[in-house]
Amino acid sequence: MFQKAARAALTLAALPLASAAPAAQGGSPVTAPMLGSWVYGTLSSTDYYDPTTDRWQDASGATEIVTFMANGRYERTRLLSLTTYGCTSKLLIYEKGTVKIGGDRVTYRPQEGVNKGYTCRPSNGWSNSEIHPETWTFRFERDSNGGDILVMQGQSGSVAHYNRYKR
């Protein structure tokens, strides 16, 4: 039951990448304040010890890092790790291509990438390089320190708040 739920969650997360061939159009120039790298979400980079089970557990969470370049290109990496009742499922999506920016919309036009993952164990894995464009609306807000926050809304209505990514 829980394995099916984990597979369903990962499958739904991968759906935006499961169709048409890559776009070949050039990108729109990217200017401030969008220029640079942005991060959304939280995902621990380490596992944790569960004293009740006396076992190490995988971290859970989701994160995305997207970098917009001045020449209209982008790179985007998304990672989802979900642990439910001893079943850890992971999804990694990496893509790069061009962006088209018009008004309050940005369209990702991937030219290459991969989405791969597994449900409960690596032997239940998949890998796919079929990707398709996505369009998001965006706006900028300020955090309490005056820094930029990039607010993106997907076609499904989902909203994500990105902070500047500092390596």
pTM (2 d.p.): 0.77
Query: Cα(49)–Cα(78) distance, rounded to whole angstroms?
Result: 25
Going residue by residue through the chain (167 aa), what tens digit of pLDDT does each one get? 334 433 434 443 443 433 333 444 678 999 999 999 999 998 666 666 778 777 776 667 899 999 999 999 999 999 998 888 878 899 999 999 999 999 999 999 999 999 999 999 999 999 999 888 999 999 999 999 999 999 999 999 999 999 999 87
Residues β-bridged to residue 101: 106
Which pLDDT does position 18 carry in this prediction?
A: 37
Question: CA 95, 43, 151, 166 torsion: positive or negative?
Answer: negative
Beta bridge partners of 82: 89
Our CA dihedral for 38, 27, 108, 126, rounded to 10 degrees, sits at -100
Residue 98 CB coordination number (10 Å): 22
Residue 49: how many CB atoms within 10 A of its CB? 9
What is the model's pLDDT at position 53? 77
| CA dist., res. 6 & res. 89, Å (int) | 6
Residue 51: which residues within 8 A CB-CB, separation 6 or more? none
